[in-house]
Amino acid sequence: MWAPDTEFAFIICADEHQFCNPRSGKCTEMDGVQTNLSTIMEPFLGNNDQAETAQQATAMRLGFYAQTHFLEHSVKSIGNKALILEGLLRPGMPLLEPIPDNHWCSEVRLWFETGLAKFQFQVMEFTNLKITPRDKAAYDFKSASTLPSVYLKDSQLDTKKMGQALDAQCQRQRVRSSGQLQNFSVFGTFFIVGASILFWPVSLLAAPLWGWIRRDKQKSWASDELLSLWQDASKHRLEEQ
């Protein structure tokens, strides 16, 4: 068993991103994401065709969400569990095994994977839902078509076409909205409950109603049954005589 020592070290982490165009192979330099996203658009300047515009819109989305997923944000979002070592150390208790020299890599990997998971989730949930005046006042929401004009002010790109491409991407991904899935689930639940409430009184009235409809038939069957019994009794008496 090993007791923890009193040595410690500082770790300074810097977030860097690189954006690449798979069609041309051009990439930006490894650097931090800036507020002005014009720099990440350089690899996507080309023929300005429809495919290139769609790529520019996608890069715009990635750059926009990358601004909010630094390691700092990951640590703050995890809270007290941001350090794996926190769960191993206990006041006055020795460690069961020594801490490896490269343990800091595991800590940083946790922060990176947390930010990456949130980044991927937001990209997949990208949608252009209707904005109510109350939402706009409370959260300052902006529709997808306005993002290029806000974050690419100094760019020579056609922000109008990029906005149209973003709207098209919104429409194609709207099916992924968890809110719509929830609405479908609520609708299905109400449908099942409503059908059950409707069929319950119907099932109670079905048997009496069917008997009332078939009452003439039942009288006929009863008469036929009495006639058959009378014929059997008469036949039996004739045989005895």
How do the pLDDT tens digits run along the chain, 241 residues long? 445 555 666 777 777 888 888 888 888 888 876 656 777 777 877 666 667 777 888 887 787 777 777 788 888 888 878 888 777 776 666 676 777 888 888 888 888 888 888 888 777 766 544 555 655 554 455 566 666 766 676 666 777 787 788 777 766 554 444 444 444 455 667 777 777 777 777 777 777 777 777 777 666 666 666 666 666 666 666 555 5
What pTM was estimated for this model as a whole? 0.50
187: number of CA atoms within 13 Å, CB side? 6
In degrees and rounded to multiples of 5, residue 17 shows phi and psi of: -130, 155
pLDDT of residue 128: 45
The answer to whether the CB of 61 falls within 8 A of the CB of 37 is: no
pLDDT, residue 161, reads 80
Residues 161, 169: Cα–Cα separation, whole Å: 12
Burial class of residue 220 in the structure, from the number of CB atoms within 10 Å of its CB (0-12 exposed, 13-18 middle, 19+ buried): exposed
How far is Cα 18 from Cα 33, in angstroms, rounded to an integer?
9
Beta carbons within 8 Å of 63's beta carbon, 6+ residues apart = 19, 33, 37, 40, 151
What's the pLDDT at 218? 65
* Residue owning tokens 């069961």: 96
155 neighbors 48 (Cβ within 8 angstroms): no
